[in-house]
Amino acid sequence: MSVTELPLPRTPEEPTGVPRSPGDAADMARSRWQPHRAGILNVWRYYDETFAFHQGRLLLRGQNGSGKSKALELLLPYLFDASLRPNRLSTFGGSERTMHWNLLGEGATGKTRVGFVWMEFRRLCEDGTERWFGCGARLQASVHTSGVHADYFTTTGRIAHPDGLSLTNESGQPLTRASLAEAVRDHGAVHASAADYRTAVRRGLFVGMGEQRYESLLTALLQLRQPKLSERLDPSLLSTLLSRALPPLGEGEVAELAEGFERLDRQREHLKQLDEEVAAAETVAARQRAYARRVLRAGSAALISATTEMDNLTRVARHSALEHEQALEGRESARLQREEQERRGHALEETIEGLRESDAYRQGEELDRLRRRTEDAAATSRRLDAAAETAPTGTARSWASRRGTAATGRGRQACRGRRPWP
């Protein structure tokens, strides 16, 4: 058989990565006793074996015949029951393996053999301190008798621990009854009978539990420790055993449970009403969503139209701004050209004024007058010629003579008044 070493539970100071809840192992350890260690000394084929529990649990592995069931027979529920009857010791319920056989059977040497079986329980108090409770039995068998003498003891100290109770003397031999009584005198007792021992264990580990309930608990342990329990499990019998082992419910607890069930019923009705309200709210929400989608769609269309119009107006505004800039540039260019033309006009006016005041310009004006007079004379001559053609012959000659004389005189006068043009 092998004992699996499980990792020790983390202390509250050690990081776990998950916050501790009020129902974790640490809080459970504060509320009740938990098996911490157990041991078998010089019984059967166990010389000196100590079993360490992990959070109140022990896992035994090994081949058939390695001693797993024997460890259960010697520890639990024997150390709670203090009964040496074979049918209560054997995990199979048989009577062929007695405690006498466990001590002196299977090749044991000597005429007398003394051994110990013990268990140690641990409880963590609210202030962080540890409390200990140990129970055990000193077993002695002789070849001259068929029975076994058992001395039961309880202690508040550590068992088989450097700072506690040692079950062997300096030479490594198991303690005598007197030595055991002396060793536990200050922090425990060796009980006179198995009944006294049972009472001490019940009061120390199961505070407030009566004898009847304690017996039911032992019966349940005897049933639950059977090997291959699941192969021939009787649910009704197991339910009966567990019900007997559980403490009876008081009127206050029953009333509290009834009130709790009533609260559950009210809570169920409240939840049902909430479900109906949620369904109605979902229906309203679905309709509101449909309405909101339509409103949003219409608003989106208006927004898209307004955006398109804004883009067109923006484009027109940019084009108008460009034309405005071009018009401003054209106006500025025209203003500059006008100023330039005005300067040129002033210069030309000054030039013209200078020309008008010159002699050549005056002579040209005189020439113009002469040309106009010449044109007038020519027109008068043409009129006279026309009149002469229509007049009688004598009259015509007279008119012709006048016209020739007038023309000759005007020609001479014109020649006298002509000057060269500059």
**Distance between CA 63 and CA 180 in Å, rounded?**
35
What's the token pair of residue 142?
A: 């002789």
Per-residue pLDDT of 342-391, as tens digits, reads 999 899 988 888 887 888 888 888 888 888 989 998 999 888 888 888 87
What 3-state DSSP class applies to 233?
coil
pLDDT at 20: 43
Q: How many helices (H) and strands (E) does the chain have?
A: 12, 8
pLDDT at 337: 92
Q: How confident is the model at residue 282 (pLDDT cuts 50, 70, 90)?
A: very high
Q: Averaged over 253-281, what is the pLDDT? A: 91
Whether 280 has a pLDDT exceeding 70, the answer reads yes
pLDDT at 213: 85
pLDDT at 29: 47
| Domain locations in the chain as residue ranges | 2-12+20-207, 372-417
pLDDT at 155: 95
What 3-state DSSP class applies to 70?
helix
**Distance between CA 8 and CA 29 in Å, rounded?**
14
Closest CA to 169 of 158, 179, 161, 159: 179
pLDDT at 23: 45
52 forms beta bridges with: 37
What are the E-state strand segments in 156-199? 188-190
Whether 13 has a pLDDT exceeding 50, the answer reads no
Whether 174 has a pLDDT exceeding 60, the answer reads yes
pLDDT at 53: 94
Per-residue pLDDT of 190-216, as tens digits, reads 999 999 999 999 999 998 888 888 888
Which top CATH class is 2-12+20-207?
alpha beta
* pLDDT greater at residue 274 or residue 6: 274
Contact 151, 137 (CB under 8 A): yes
**Distance between CA 225 and CA 404 in Å, rounded?**
178
**Distance between CA 165 and CA 184 in Å, rounded?**
7
